[in-house]
Amino acid sequence: MNLKKLTIVTGHYGSGKTNISVNLALEAARQGRKCTVIDLDIVNPYFRTADFEELFSQNGITLKTPQYANSNLDIPALGISVKGILDESDCVIIDVGGDDEGAKALGRYKAVISECEDREMLYVINKCRYLTKEPDEALELMREIETASGLSCTGIVNNTNLGNETDENIVLGSLDYAKQVAEAAGLPLRMTAGRKEFLENVTENPFPVEIFVKTLWN
């Protein structure tokens, strides 16, 4: 996988974007790159890259979090220098909050991000989740995130899953949906993510992932 200097991972709540962020960071570490993960998910206190500090440390990955991350003072006092982090790292991954409100935090760094030409903004979709079951629903939410952040997505990630109930049929059954979202958005389908055993018959850009983020409904 050719990871960009800067990869922004966004998507609706429950899409699995944090698990994608964690796996991308680990992939960067495997490639020997100096990787920093920025946790800008100030919306959802349950699934956050900030919860994987030990895993990141074991793999040489640096984690940057907002000033009040993982506390009961979870307000958007960010205190993060994205420019400084980009200067110090050769691979930066930003995990963004799961809706347009969360994307506003990303918008604070629009000027700095726009200066980085080697960047990707991924939109993670999950056909099995509420409000993104239909392509037009997923597309509408993507546009809301783009409007709130002032930045445009550059690729789609199909991360359709049902937690522990996921099987190969669920993944394969999502491929047409993912292609429809990508075509409607005018963006490439960068990858279909899932456990390795579920991707054996996925021919276009499979991305095997480990499951680190556990859903509340499992």
How many domains are contained in the chain? 1
DSSP-derived secondary structure letter, 98? S
Domain contains 27: yes
CATH classification at residue 100: 3.40.50.300
Domain contains 26: yes
> What's residue 42's pLDDT?
64
Domain contains 201: yes
Average pLDDT over residues 182-191: 98
CA distances from 46 to 14, 85, 96, 213 (A): 11, 25, 14, 9
State the distance between the two ends of the chain, measured CA to CA, in whole angstroms: 30
| Predicted confidence (pLDDT) at residue 22 exceeds the cutoff of 60 | yes
Domain contains 77: yes
What gap in Å lies between CA 146 and CA 11, rounded to an integer? 11
Domain contains 151: yes
Question: Domain range for residue 12?
Answer: 6-208
Domain contains 60: yes
Q: What percent of the chain has pLDDT over 90?
A: 72
Least confident of 16-20, 72-76, 130-134, 188-192: 72-76
Dihedral angle of Cα 146, 149, 153, 158, to the nearest 10 degrees? -80
DSSP per-residue letters across 54-72: HHHHHTT-EEE--TTTTSS
Domain contains 215: no
What gap in Å lies between CA 140 and CA 2, rounded to an integer? 28
Dig out the tokens for 35 from the structure: 């990787």
The two counts, helices (H) then strands (E), for the chain are 8, 8
User: Is 0.85 surpassed by the pTM of this model?
Assistant: yes
Dig out the tokens for 68 from the structure: 């009040």
What gap in Å lies between CA 216 and CA 46, rounded to an integer? 9
| Predicted confidence (pLDDT) at residue 215 exceeds the cutoff of 60 | no
> b/e string for 137-163 if b means 16 or more Cβ within 10 A?
bbbebbeebbebbbbebbbbbbbbbbe
With a CB cutoff of 8 Å and minimum separation 6, the contacts of 71 are none
Q: pLDDT tens digits for 82-95?
A: 999 999 999 999 99
Cα dihedral 51, 55, 57, 61 sign: negative
